[in-house]
């Protein structure tokens, strides 16, 4: 879609400087942008590459100057740029209409405007809300419910009864509602503990490719509104995650963990079962939280077992100095062994 | 299925106290249970929440009292509860009959009662045992063999020749028999080492969502009977895993590792190639075992590189005390420098 | 395919000793080989198991003797063995012809000899080069391009616009071109940063089962020619990987990381965003590279945060000796406290 700089400024509620008629049809990085691509600048250090870009239109904070470009002044240029991208380049449809090869149970309920790609399978009693797009090879199990405006990329599995709220995005290969990993050991055998609970993904959650979210065993697994999970993340049974939490790739969350809102996880972090991560905590990449531990609100933790970042840094610094400490101990031992005499001579 | 408390007691071989006619139709957690749901109590500390539950029927160990409920006395209440769940709430079918869209080679052999979901593909020479259910979008490659009563959730891949024994459960996205990661380096290039071996999954194994098990290169990859693998686990070529071993999510097992029986792995553990993990060992979450190392029978190891848990704890405790040790060294240095005089004054 | 030892020697450009007419039809490990299987020996320690193998033909380095076998003398026996395997046991076809159930857009362009398995979906404007095989349930998104002689095992997803060069192998469950994990935080919400860049997989790359490669956000994600990625690897947006690099299973590469050529990664390594890993570096299993760090050409690093292997070893050795160091400090403190007297007595 091509707009003018003026239209874009109106949409973003920005002031504009320069040519209002300049056409803008996409977004790009400064180095690869064409004349009609929008770029953005966040700080003075980015001005040079913006100046040398072919882009005619730039989102820029107040107070920075950039000659020869049409400027859109925004308080948060990156956000304005992201909103412009969504407006100019709306996500391509995942499916259009109901593909004739889709296998849809007669008892499934599809609201208006639902699109279903080739070879998708929608089982008995499933409910799908208006405007939702279901990609090729998606499997929507019995009585699963999906809200409005969701986007399921090709090859997503919803086990029976899984619930998605509105505007949920699931990437290819994601599995929602698989059985949790729970067994009762007896007589040298492991018996399956019932995995009959629920799984609910709230509004505006995005879940990455090949990420797996187990259903509850008896309770519910829940991902709070606005939370974002990267690729290859594992969320076990009965986990509760609050709103607006972000979890980077390959992090693993064990059973019955409770995570608050606005928590941030680096990649490959691991949480033992029954941990509690309070609101706003930050969990470093590869950190390991022991079962049952609590990370307090706002804490930043690192390492395995995880400890406060400052403590980790101090310990790590001393670890690096261990060879030196050992030498100093040796020197002291020599000093002591040689008696006060040596000391006396030196003094 | 609704049963009476008396029928359930008979099935579980429990003694019963209370109303034998009380209907039981499911299992639940105490907080969410309805009157007809069974709950269980393992210890005195769970009595209060059981007492306040709407459930009328409770599995409970001998020696605990709980007024106003129908009690089923079991030595292992959790096991009895799990068995009751299986009886009252049998797993919903993954497929029923042979869906007309399934593409099944005329040379594939399907035993009686095999069910195949929509859009499953079963290739030449595959053999599938009685009562096995194959979900939608499953791919059963050439000459793959599947035993009886297996359950393949939607979207499982068996590469050509993969072998499953009986009662194997594979969750959505699991891949069995992919090529191992083996190359021969020469002339600045990597040539594929042959990945033409076998892969065999023995009886009663359960494999989690998006877990990958590579075939052997020349030999065989094998998962022993009763072993359970969680989601997103990686098992490389030529790995041998014994019986009743449990591997938590995101653990990675490199090529030619040998793992005994009754071994337990925490999540995100990593094993270098040619490790040996003997029977009954316990490998902590995120532990890293160096290539070629042996973890002895019954050992508990932790950390990277992995060491015995006690040793890890001791080292970790001292690591935390390093700043203090450094101060003590400094104090000693000051003491020694100032000569014996200082000591003399203090004494 | 059955060949004679002599034909095989010619193909491999080896000298031959023994029965030129011996038939060879496959490759195997010494213990499981039949008479017509080729085996190989790399060093004297493997001679015994080769001697007791049923195999009649052995690839062997110059200078080693092995009675009773037909010998093919090769400088690099493992490489010769791998090349023989490829010749004798060419990979079974993933698909043959165009399966009638494949849903192929009329605007997609398929070159001669492209094979497409059952239920594959190929969208508008996709281009597929000669000799490429597309397995069952593969999804080739709008305008994706695939070169010649590629092999996509069943159930691979290429998002719209993804590009594969020639002879690329993708294993089951791989996802190429999913959205990167990028958001702009504002007003307690996370807005999706545009993920509209490219993804390109160069010649001769092999990508393991359930591995995920995100597209660029504004730029491009690229995997260089000849690189090999194992199972369950995560490659984030804008990552550039050079040629002939190998990445073992479950490694995670964060956004905008730059990796050179001939780099080797152990399993479960984690790289923070904007790292640079120079040519020929070696990253140990489970190593964690902090965001923005540089690993220099040829360096070997280990641990989290990653440090040079030698430094890691030294620190780790001292960590093990911490209890001893602490005792020595205590002894020094006692010695100092008791004054020079004690020392004097002992001397």
In this structure, of A328-332, B337-341, C183-187, C235-239, the range with the lowest mean pLDDT score is B337-341
Of A88, A116, A151, the last residue of a domain is: A88
Query: Which residues of chain B have a CB within 8 Å of the CB of A175?
Result: 171-173, 209-210, 231
In a domain, A321, yes or no: no
pLDDT of residue A188: 84
CATH number, domain of A56, equals 3.40.1390.10
Rg (CA), chain C: 28
∠ Cα B248 B253 B255 (to 5°):
165
Name the percent of chain C lying above pLDDT 90. 91
Query: Which residues of chain B have a CB within 8 Å of the CB of A193?
Result: 78, 82, 85
Of B29, B58, B88, the last residue of a domain is: B88
Q: State the average pLDDT for chain A.
A: 95
d(C-alpha B230, C-alpha B210), whole Å = 9
Q: Count Cβ atoms below 10 Å from residue A65 Cβ, excluding itself.
A: 9
Query: Phi and psi dihedrals of B121, rounded to 5?
Result: -125, 125
Mark whether C174 and C238 lie in a shared domain: yes
Whether the CB of C118 is below 8 Å from some CB of chain A: the reply is no
Mark whether B132 and B185 lie in a shared domain: yes
**Mean pLDDT for back-to-back runs of 10 residues, chain B (347 residues):** 95 96 96 96 95 97 95 96 95 95 98 97 98 98 98 98 98 98 92 96 98 97 98 98 98 98 98 98 98 97 96 91 90 80 39
For residue C237, indicate whether it is catalytic. yes
DSSP string, A68-125: TSEEEE-SSHHHHHHHHHHHHSPPPPS--SB-TT-EE-TT-EE-TT-EE-TT-EE-TT
What integer is the mean pLDDT of C287-315?
96
Name the percent of chain C lying above pLDDT 70. 97
Express each pLDDT in A321-339 by its tens digit. Answer: 998 999 999 999 998 877 6
pLDDT of A45 over the 70 cut: yes
State how far Cα B91 lies from the chain centre.
18
User: Distance, in angstroms, between C334 CA and closest chain B CA?
Assistant: 10
d(C-alpha B8, C-alpha B27), whole Å = 12
Query: Which residues of chain C have a CB within 8 Å of the CB of B175?
Result: 171-173, 209-210, 231
In a domain, B345, yes or no: no
Helix H or strand E encompassing A64: none
pLDDT of residue A336: 81
pLDDT of residue C2: 93
Task: Give bridge partners of residue C300 from the DSSP assignment.
Answer: C282
Query: Phi and psi dihedrals of A321, rounded to 5?
Result: -95, 5
Whether the CB of C231 is below 8 Å from some CB of chain A: the reply is no
Whether the CB of A339 is below 8 Å from some CB of chain C: the reply is yes
**Chain B contact partners (≥3 CB pairs within 8 A):** A, C
Mark whether B21 and B67 lie in a shared domain: yes
Calculate the alpha carbon distances from B258 to B18, B274, B278, B295, C165 in Å. Answer: 51, 7, 8, 10, 37
Widest distance between CA atoms in chain C = 99
Put simply, the answer to whether A286 touches C272 (Cβ < 8 Å) is no
In a domain, C147, yes or no: yes
pLDDT of residue C138: 98
A270 vs B117, B226, B286: nearest CB: B286
Mark whether B76 and B138 lie in a shared domain: no
Q: Among positive and negative, which fits the CA dihedral C126, C130, C132, C137? A: positive
d(C-alpha B137, C-alpha B163), whole Å = 18
pLDDT of residue B339: 62
Q: How confident is the model at residue C342 (pLDDT cuts 50, 70, 90)?
A: very low
Mark whether A130 and A165 lie in a shared domain: yes
Put simply, the answer to whether B226 touches A336 (Cβ < 8 Å) is no
Put simply, the answer to whether B232 touches A212 (Cβ < 8 Å) is yes
Mark whether C51 and C174 lie in a shared domain: no
Put simply, the answer to whether B285 touches A286 (Cβ < 8 Å) is no
In a domain, C322, yes or no: no
CATH number, domain of B128, equals 2.160.10.10
pLDDT of C344 over the 70 cut: no
What DSSP state is assigned to residue B64?
-
In a domain, B144, yes or no: yes
Mark whether C142 and C84 lie in a shared domain: no
pLDDT of C340 over the 70 cut: no
In a domain, A164, yes or no: yes
User: Distance, in angstroms, between C124 CA and closest chain B CA?
Assistant: 22
Query: B59 in helix, strand or coil?
Result: strand
pLDDT of A342 over the 80 cut: no
Mark whether C113 and C251 lie in a shared domain: yes
Mark whether A154 and A202 lie in a shared domain: yes
Query: Which residues of chain A have a CB within 8 Å of the CB of B211?
Result: none
Whether the CB of B53 is below 8 Å from some CB of chain A: the reply is no
Look at chain B and report how many structural domains it folds into: 2
Whether the CB of A129 is below 8 Å from some CB of chain B: the reply is no
What DSSP state is assigned to residue A43?
S
pLDDT of residue A84: 97
Whether the CB of B48 is below 8 Å from some CB of chain A: the reply is no
DSSP string, B120-183: -EE-TT-EE-TT-EE-TT-EE-TT-EE-TT-EE-SS-EE-TT-EE-SS-EE-TT-EEEEPP--E
Mark whether B172 and B240 lie in a shared domain: yes
Domain of residue B223 covers: 103-309
Put simply, the answer to whether C82 touches B315 (Cβ < 8 Å) is no
Among A246, A249, A317, the residue to mutate for chain C (most C Cβ within 10 A): A249
Name the percent of chain A lying above pLDDT 70. 97
Of C53, C88, C123, the last residue of a domain is: C88
pLDDT of A293 over the 90 cut: yes
In a domain, B126, yes or no: yes
In a domain, C137, yes or no: yes
d(C-alpha B34, C-alpha B26), whole Å = 9
pLDDT of residue C338: 76
Mark whether C209 and C303 lie in a shared domain: yes
Q: Among positive and negative, which fits the CA dihedral C299, B273, B214, B176? A: negative
Q: How confident is the model at residue C335 (pLDDT cuts 50, 70, 90)?
A: confident
d(C-alpha A325, C-alpha C332), whole Å = 14
Non-local (6+) Cβ contacts of B138 within 8 A are: B117, B120, B121, B152, B154, B155, B156, B157, B158
Mark whether C181 and C304 lie in a shared domain: yes
In this structure, of A77-81, B329-333, B342-346, C29-33, the range with the lowest mean pLDDT score is B342-346
């Amino acid at each position: 879609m091509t707009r003018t700089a003026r239209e874009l400024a109106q949409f973003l509620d920005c002031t504009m400087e320069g040519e209002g008629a300049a056409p803008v049809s996409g977004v790009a990085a400064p180095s690869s942008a064409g004349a009609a691509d929008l770029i953005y600048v966040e700080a003075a250090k980015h001005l040079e590459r913006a100046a040398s870009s072919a882009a005619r239109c730039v989102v820029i904070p107040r107070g920075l100057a950039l000659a020869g470009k049409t400027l859109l002044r925004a308080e948060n240029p990156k956000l304005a740029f992201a909103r412009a991208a969504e407006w100019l380049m709306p996500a391509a449809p995942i499916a259009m209409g109901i593909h004739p090869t889709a296998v849809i149970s007669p008892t499934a309920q599809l609201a208006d405007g639902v699109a279903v790609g080739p070879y998708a399978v929608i089982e008995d009693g499933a409910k799908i809300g208006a405007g939702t797009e279901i990609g090729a090879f998606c499997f929507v199990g019995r009585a699963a419910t999906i809200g409005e405006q969701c986007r399921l990329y090709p090859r997503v599995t919803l086990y029976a009864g899984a619930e998605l709220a509105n505007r949920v995005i699931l990437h290819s290969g994601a599995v929602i509602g698989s059985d949790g990993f729970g067994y009762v050991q007896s007589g040298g055998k492991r018996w399956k503990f019932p995995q009959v609970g629920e799984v609910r993904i709230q509004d505006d959650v995005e879940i990455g490719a090949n990420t797996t979210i187990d259903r509850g065993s008896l309770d519910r697994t829940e991902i709070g509104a606005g939370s974002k999970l990267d690729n290859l993340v594992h969320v076990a049974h009965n986990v509760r995650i609050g709103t607006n939490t972000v979890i980077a790739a390959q992090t693993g969350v064990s059973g019955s963990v409770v995570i608050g809102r606005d928590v941030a996880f680096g990649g490959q972090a691991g949480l033992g079962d029954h941990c509690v991560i309070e609101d706003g905590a930050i969990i470093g990449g590869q950190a390991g939280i022991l079962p049952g531990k609590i990370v307090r609100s706002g804490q930043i933790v690192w390492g395995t077992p995880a400890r406060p970042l400052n403590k980790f840094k101090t310990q790590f610094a001393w670890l690096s100095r261990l060879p030196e400490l050992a030498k100093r101990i040796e020197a002291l031992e020599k000093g002591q062994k040689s008696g006060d005499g040596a000391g006396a001579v030196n003094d």
